[in-house]
């Protein structure tokens, strides 16, 4: 088996199963098999899916810098899967809010979306994530040409909106959103530095 086949038939299925573990743990805890969700089950499910969406977007954003630092080009083969898992966990978070928390009451949903800015931010991030997930297929990517990369640069905007959404609703301890903001800052700075280096190299050539 060559490296590409190993990635396709061994490592991709392994990474896929690992990415499903948070979901399995949430389901296990909900049914009291692997643990428990505590007193407020709906809030616990909502928070866990939200946290995993944010973790996955950070991991997906780490792929390119890590690939550049290590020259492990095979890493980019996992980017789409990680992006789609970000969408999946964010969508589960959104569905939990819509169905379990708001019980599909349209007037309250609209009120929350308009009057609670952190929910408005989360919603914008969700819309952008949906656009990225829908356009993640190779056929669409080819058809979109250069516009595809422009759209997919939105991943950074989604990361910022996600951290902001989290930060805004935290009541006291801002440690966790601060950690996410720090990671995002490092990743964004690395991107900007690489971009400028490439530009000056091109200009010199
Ligand atoms: C329509 C979209 C969204 C809605 C309606 C929404 C709504 C909510 C609500 C109601 C909470 C709980 C607030 C509380 O516990 O008082 C929450 C928390 C959170 N959301 Fe969202 N959200 C959305 C999208 C997103 C997205 C796209 C991300 C990540 C990329 C995200 C990440 C988080 C995180 C990390 C938390 C905090 C969890 C914690 O307290 O541990 N959300 N969201």
- For the chain, give every domain's residue range: 42-204
CA distance 151 to 128: 9
Q: Is 125 in the pocket of ligand 1 (CB under 6 A)?
A: yes
Contact predicate 52/88, CB 8 Å: no
Per-residue pLDDT, 3: 87
Range name among 1-5, 109-113, 142-146, 153-157 with the lowest pLDDT average = 1-5
Name the DSSP class of 33.
S
Distance CA 147, CA 124 (A): 20
Verify whether ligand 1 is closer than 6 Å to residue 50 (CB atom). yes
**Ligand 1 lined by 126 (C-beta under 6 Å):** yes
Q: Is the CB of 177 under 6 A from ligand 1?
A: no
Asked whether 83 lines ligand 1 (CB < 6 A), one says no
Average per-residue pLDDT in the chain? 96
Instruction: Determine the average pLDDT of the residues in 165-193.
Output: 95
> Quick one: which atom of ligand 1 is closest to the CA of 101?
10
Query: Does the C-beta of 48 come closer than 6 Å to ligand 1?
Result: no
How far apart CA 53 and CA 89 sit, in angstroms, is 5
Answer for the pair 110, 71: CB distance below 8 angstroms, yes or no: no
Predicted TM-score (pTM) of this structure:
0.94
- pLDDT tens digit sequence for 114-149: 999 999 999 999 999 999 999 999 999 999 999 999
Atom number in ligand 1 closest to CA 57: 30
């Amino acid at each position: 088996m060559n490296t590409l086949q190993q990635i396709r038939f061994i490592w991709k299925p392994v990474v896929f199963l690992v990415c499903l573990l948070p979901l399995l743990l949430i389901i296990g805890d909900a049914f009291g098999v692997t643990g428990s969700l505590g007193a407020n089950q709906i809030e616990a499910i909502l928070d866990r899916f939200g946290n995993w969406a944010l973790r996955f977007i950070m991991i997906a954003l780490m792929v390119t810098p890590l690939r550049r630092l290590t020259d492990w080009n095979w890493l980019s083969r996992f980017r789409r899967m990680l992006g789609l898992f970000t969408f999946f966990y964010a969508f589960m978070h959104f569905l939990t809010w819509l169905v379990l928390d708001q019980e599909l009451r349209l007037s309250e949903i609209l009120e929350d979306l308009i009057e609670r800015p952190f929910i408005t931010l989360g919603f914008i991030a969700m819309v952008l994530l949906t656009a990225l997930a829908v356009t993640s297929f190779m056929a669409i990517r080819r058809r979109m040409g250069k516009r595809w990369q422009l759209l997919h640069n939105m991943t950074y905007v989604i990361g910022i909106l996600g951290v902001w959404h989290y930060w805004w609703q935290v009541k006291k301890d801002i440690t966790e959103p601060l950690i996410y903001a720090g990671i995002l800052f490092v990743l964004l700075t690395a991107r900007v530095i690489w971009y400028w280096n490439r530009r000056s190299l091109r200009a010199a050539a």
